[in-house]
């Protein structure tokens, strides 16, 4: 039996640095915020914390393994101490690491996360790995594809070729920065074979090259690219979704049980948990509600994985949900 969920992408070590003295300025919509510190000064910080084995695809794998799915992960690490820490972190989550590639002479991706108040700004650098579609003994039920480094355009087309040769495999696509920069035309074959696509409002606008803020129109436009289902998250306003029949809903953010610590991985938890519950047979709107519950719990901890919930915990939060936490048709 193949994997229920095979996650493909990059993994990193996140070095969280808690800033004390900074300011954040945003536009009139509370968006497009900029982090500001005094230029040329020594900037004090409260503490730092190292979190190995993270990144969009690794976070998704951790979420699905926690939910009891048979989960594999295809990422590349260097043959260094950080690579060993990442693999150990995956194994601790119960993720199958047989498809993790260790590349001699390479360094594992390492990011600095500037954490101020409840949000973060990430300084990124991607190692140039030799990506290739892994040989799979059996097709997985789902492939989940997210952030990859630059110079991986051909790798994306290899993934498409695999799915085209195995039409029973469903693809969930959560495009990262580089994938959005590649553009719709370059990845049109990928969008065309996507079962469900996840992005936030700003990412949807960049993908579609529009400034439209009407979520009904954004959902419809994203579906014209090929995905059968689309979810667009809207930060503290929850998320919007459209299924293969064109039915659309809004689901509000699940109320925080206490003030959030920081928001790394909230989108990853929403997306991967939604897929996990689609795999379990739930409708899109019911699956998305569970995704937003997991997202609300992730922001209660440092990093994208510590707060991930088990199925029993999510169902307990769902049972205790407030009356207004529901999917409302658009």
Q: Are 267 and 200 in contact (CB under 8 A)?
A: yes
CATH of 5-10+53-108+129-329, one of 3.30.930.10, 3.40.1190.20, 3.40.50.620, 3.20.20.80: 3.40.1190.20
Task: Note the pLDDT of residue 29.
Answer: 72
Q: Residue with structure tokens 């600095």? A: 112
Over the stretch 31-50, which tens digit does the pLDDT of each residue have? 778 888 888 888 889 888 89
- List, in order, residues 6 or more apart from 290 with CB less than 8 Å away: 273, 274, 276, 277, 282, 314, 318
Residue 99, burial from CB neighbour count under 10 angstroms (0-12, 13-18, 19+): middle
User: Among 46-60, 184-198, 213-227, whose mean pLDDT is lowest?
Assistant: 46-60
Task: Tell me the domain boundaries of the chain.
Answer: 5-10+53-108+129-329
Strand partners, 103: 78
* Two structure tokens written together for 39: 């230029």
As a whole number of angstroms, the longest Cα–Cα distance in the chain is 57
Over residues 263-277, mean pLDDT: 92
Task: Note the pLDDT of residue 133.
Answer: 93
d(CA 244, CA 199): 17
Over the stretch 207-265, which tens digit does the pLDDT of each residue have? 999 999 999 999 999 999 999 999 999 988 999 999 999 999 999 999 988 888 777 77
Rounded to the nearest 10°, the torsion over CA 87, 278, 233, 169 is: 60
Helix (H) or strand (E) holding 15: strand 12-19
Residue 123, burial from CB neighbour count under 10 angstroms (0-12, 13-18, 19+): exposed
Task: Note the pLDDT of residue 198.
Answer: 98
* Two structure tokens written together for 81: 């101490």
Q: Are 212 and 229 in contact (CB under 8 A)?
A: no
For the cut 80, the answer to whether the pLDDT of residue 52 exceeds it is yes
For the cut 90, the answer to whether the pLDDT of residue 166 exceeds it is yes
Task: Note the pLDDT of residue 118.
Answer: 72
Q: Are 42 and 48 in contact (CB under 8 A)?
A: no
Q: Are 56 and 176 in contact (CB under 8 A)?
A: yes
Task: Note the pLDDT of residue 302.
Answer: 79
Task: Note the pLDDT of residue 31.
Answer: 74
DSSP state of 320: T
Q: Are 248 and 265 in contact (CB under 8 A)?
A: no
Task: Note the pLDDT of residue 1.
Answer: 65
Q: Which of 260, 63, 81, 28 is CA-nearest to residue 146?
A: 63
d(CA 7, CA 57): 6
For the cut 90, the answer to whether the pLDDT of residue 150 exceeds it is no
Over residues 285-295, mean pLDDT: 97
* Report field, pTM of the whole predicted structure over 0.85: yes
User: Among 144-148, 196-200, 205-209, 258-262, whose mean pLDDT is lowest?
Assistant: 258-262
Give me the half-sphere count of Cα atoms (radius 13 Å) on the Cβ side of residue 289.
Answer: 19
Over the stretch 95-142, which tens digit does the pLDDT of each residue have? 999 999 999 999 999 999 898 887 778 888 889 999 999 999 999 999
- List, in order, residues 6 or more apart from 178 with CB less than 8 Å away: 147, 148, 149, 150, 152
d(CA 95, CA 63): 10
Determine the 3-state secondary structure of 325 from DSSP: coil
Measured between its terminal Cα atoms, the distance across the chain in Å is 39
Q: Are 68 and 28 in contact (CB under 8 A)?
A: no
């Amino acid at each position: 039996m193949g994997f229920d969920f095979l996650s493909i992408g990059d993994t990193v070590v996140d070095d969280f640095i808690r800033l004390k003295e900074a300011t954040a300025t945003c536009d009139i919509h509370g968006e497009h915020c900029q982090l500001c510190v005094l230029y040329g000064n020594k900037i004090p910080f409260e503490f730092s914390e190292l979190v190995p084995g993270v990144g969009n695809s690794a976070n998704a794998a951790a979420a699905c393994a926690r939910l009891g799915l048979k989960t594999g992960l295809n990422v590349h690490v260097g043959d260094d101490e950080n690579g060993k820490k990442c693999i150990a972190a995956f194994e601790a989550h119960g993720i199958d690491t047989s498809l993790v590639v260790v590349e001699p002479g390479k360094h594992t991706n390492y990011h600095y996360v500037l954490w101020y108040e409840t949000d973060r700004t990430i300084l990124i650098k991607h190692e140039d790995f030799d990506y290739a579609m892994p040989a799979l003994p059996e097709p997985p039920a789902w492939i989940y594809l997210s952030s990859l480094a630059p110079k991986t355009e051909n790798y994306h087309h290899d993934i498409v070729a695999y799915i085209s040769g195995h039409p029973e495999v469903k693809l969930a696509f959560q495009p990262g920065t580089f994938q959005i920069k590649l553009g719709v035309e370059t990845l049109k074959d990928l969008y065309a074979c996507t079962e469900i696509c996840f992005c936030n409002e700003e990412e949807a606008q960049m993908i579609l090259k529009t400034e439209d803020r009407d979520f009904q129109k954004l959902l419809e436009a994203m579906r014209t690219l090929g995905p059968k289902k689309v979810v667009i998250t809207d930060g503290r306003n929850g998320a919007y979704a459209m299924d293969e029949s064109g039915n659309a809903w809004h689901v509000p953010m699940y109320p925080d049980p206490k003030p959030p610590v920081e928001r790394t991985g909230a989108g990853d938890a929403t997306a991967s948990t939604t897929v996990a519950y689609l795999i379990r047979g739930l409708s899109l709107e019911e699956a998305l509600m569970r995704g937003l519950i997991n997202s609300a719990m992730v922001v209660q901890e440092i990093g994208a994985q510590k707060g991930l919930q088990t199925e029993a915990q999510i169902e307990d939060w769902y049972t205790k949900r407030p009356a207004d936490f529901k999917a409302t048709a658009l």
